[in-house]
Amino acid sequence: MTDSSPLLEVRELTVHHGQLRALDNVSLSVFAGDVFAMIGANGAGKSTLLRSVCGLHRPTSGSVLLDGTDITGLRPEKRVAAGIVMVPEGRRLFPSLTLEENLQVGATYTREGPWSIARVYELFNWMPGRRRQLAAQLSGGEQQAVAIGRALVANPRVLLLDELSLGLAPVVVQRIYDTLPELLATGVTVLLVEQDVSQALRVASRVHCLLEGRTTLTGEPAGLTAESIEAAYFGLASAAAPGPWTGDSARTLPEESR
Amino acid sequence: MTWVNDIVQGVMLGGLYALFACGLSLLFGVMKVINLAHGDLAIVAAYGAVGIVALTHMPGAWSVLLAVPIFAVVGYLVQRTLIQASLNRGVLTTLLVTFGLSVVIENALQQFWSANARTLQIGALATDHFNIGSQISIGYLDLVILIAAVAVLLGLQYYLSYSKQGRLIRAVADDREAAQLCGADYRHIFGIAAAIAFGTVALAGTAYGMYTSFYPSSGSSGFLVLFAFEAVVIGGLGSLWGTLLGGIALGVVQSIGGQIGSTDQVIAGQLLFLVVLAAMPQGITGFRRAA
């Protein structure tokens, strides 16, 4: 797999939020068929990376390439046409539109591909019965499914999933992650950000750990030990860069090795 | 019986207000732009129609057919340049820019057209009327304007609810970043919404020009922009049906106020506005948002 060229490549990306350097010289390669998981504590720069890949943040330096083509200067809507579609953090459905209208908006600028609204209705079979309901009236888990459906109907080559599990019950999160194999079967490549490290390790073919905007670890889950992930997550290996050791991040630490 | 006539006249005046207000409502609903130049743009359209008639010698009422599409194009361009540039600098900037635009427009009109009052000549249509009973008199022009207002609001509502583009406009109004992530260029969609808003303002302005005489500062000192705002607020922000009801409510109350005393017309409308603002700040249709 690594012999071929990457589908999505991030080269030496540096992004600033005002004075703050949110990403510092981060590089990564996502290959077709990957489930590439970004992990890291709050504020590590995971979401910034995803937002830079989909075009919502302009990098200070570095580049983003899709299939070898530099797309760093493209606006987000142009990247959708190129095949990069994001499910944003917090779902961001159109609250005053119905479930079906949300999907229709997602399908407006679709590429050729296997996904259609009908196909999404097959994947989430509770949806057709509630298609006329306003998105604002759906539960968080339902909204997350609609957000995924809205991205899928654009037929992405790379699907970006930002914090799917945020604010959702574990059982709901599990149900959403259970649909992942079906997405992959249609040829979608996934780049996801996940706070829940054990969840990320379960689904990912590659993990990439960020700490304060820098890469601290990258590799396949099978080749990584819990200790090395813990060290990368909290920055224990380098005393120069202590991790943000908060109660919240400690809770998302993987409890056991895979 | 004279009261019944007042109400009838008020309803028809309300049609004109609703026509003024729907562009304002759309601009605010979609891009959160409070367009203080709205009334002045209507007057520009009225002067434009006078100019079109002078150049082409077409019948006055037909000038609408040219004024509306020209204004729609102007609306798209103004949105993509001036308004978008100010939107990028924050909501307060749009307020300042549209206020500045209002001042510029009024002075430019004064420069080119002088301060004399004008009307858009439409011949007998301006004064022809029919009577119902002995007291109620309905002007054909008033009736046409009311019908046009209802048709525009009905059409706009239908367009926003059921067309693909209307859906995109609603999506962009909800969350422009999420719309971008769906592949929509929100600035283009804003431009389309502005084109529609400017088209309706041109219709309202030319209708006003047929209805009464106007002068360069009619947009602000003639209270047009104020009445449009009041119609939007009374009806409830973001609801086109509310805007129609708000316009009619304002028209009826003003008409009745005018009956009590000829100087009480405007103050009666203001009172209604203040009462609605105090008692039901969501507007009379606030409980359900249409568009």
Q: What is the pLDDT of residues B207-266, one digit of tens each?
A: 999 989 999 999 888 788 899 999 999 988 878 888 999 999 999 999 999 988 888 888
Is the interface score ipTM higher than 0.90?
Answer: no
The parent domain of residue A62 ranges over 8-91+157-251
Q: Is A223 part of any domain?
A: yes
How many domains does one find in chain A? 1
Q: What is the pLDDT of residues A203-218, one digit of tens each?
A: 999 999 999 999 999 9
Q: Is A119 part of any domain?
A: no
Asked if B180 and A94 come within 8 Å (Cβ–Cβ), the reply is no
H or E element in which residue A232 lies? helix A226-234
Q: Is A111 part of any domain?
A: no
Q: What is the pLDDT of residues A154-196, one digit of tens each?
A: 999 999 999 998 889 989 999 999 999 999 999 999 999 998 8
Q: Is A58 part of any domain?
A: yes
Tokens standing for residue B180: 């971008």
Query: Of the candidates B171, B177, B186, which has its C-beta nearest A97's C-beta?
Result: B171
Decide if pLDDT at A237 tops 80.
Answer: no
Q: Which residues of B touch A75 (CB under 8 A)?
A: 180, 185
Q: Which residues of A touch B181 (CB under 8 A)?
A: 54, 56, 76, 80, 85-86, 88, 92, 151
Q: Is the dihedral of CA A195, A199, A201, A207 positive or negative?
A: negative
The CATH number of the domain holding residue A62 is 3.40.50.300
Query: Of the candidates A81, A94, A95, which has its C-beta nearest B183's C-beta?
Result: A81
Whether pTM exceeds 0.80: yes
pLDDT for A3 equals 54
Domain boundaries, chain B: 2-219
CB proximity list for B83: less than 8 A, separation 6 or greater: B31, B33, B94, B97, B98, B190, B194
Q: Is A54 part of any domain?
A: yes
Asked if A94 and B289 come within 8 Å (Cβ–Cβ), the reply is no
CB proximity list for A62: less than 8 A, separation 6 or greater: A10, A11, A12, A13, A14, A25, A26, A27, A72
> Quick one: which of B223, B205, B179, B242 has its CA closest to B28?
B242
Q: Is A20 part of any domain?
A: yes
Decide if pLDDT at B159 tops 90.
Answer: yes
Closest-approach residue (CA) in chain B for A154: B182
Cα separation, A54 vs B181, in Å, equals 8
Q: Is A102 part of any domain?
A: no
